[in-house]
Amino acid sequence: MIEIGINGLIRLLSYIAPFIVRRMYTPERLASKIKITISSEGDGVYIQAGQLPRAQVWLEITNLTPFAIEPDRIIVKLTCTYQIAKLVLLERRIIESTEEERYLLDESLSSFQVDSLRGAGKIEEAQLEIYGYFLSKVHNFSIRNKYISTKNVRVVNLQAKQP
């Protein structure tokens, strides 16, 4: 209840005296209030290594700032022993204060990337390196070098190729 009142007061102050809010909420402070995680529902990271190889990652972005934000672009480097994919999100949806949005990042894999996965053996964990650029009415800001590790990985059709 108090949090909603403070957030509302800060939003009102951003209309009346935006220069004060800009000083209070630096780009670094805004970036620290964005929570990015891998979805715990279903398959957070899904790798299909069959006929049409692809990698998919479900990201959850939670906005803990008092302002609406909009992801301009998010780049995710997916690593399972080796870097196997670079996924890019260009979908722009406004995330209101204290709300969460789910995004699907999807990228095709080359035969070289699939062969690298096969050489790695059984994959039980994935690491993601995340870079993001966000828009807000106070400041535009970026998130760099955010690392996430997850065991919520599902890899299908990774068996060795038949000669």
Task: Name all domains of the chain by residue range, CATH numbers in brackets.
Answer: 2-156 (2.60.40.10)
Per-residue pLDDT at 2? 47
Looking at per-residue pLDDT, the higher value among 163 and 21 belongs to 21
Global pTM reads 0.81
The per-residue DSSP string of 128-153 comes to EEEEEEEEESS--EEEEEEEEEES-E
Percentage of the chain with pLDDT > 70? 84
Q: What's residue 1's pLDDT?
A: 43
Mean pLDDT of 100-104: 94
Q: Which residues contact 58 (CB under 8 A, 6 or more apart)?
A: 38, 39, 41, 42, 43, 44, 45, 102, 103, 104, 105
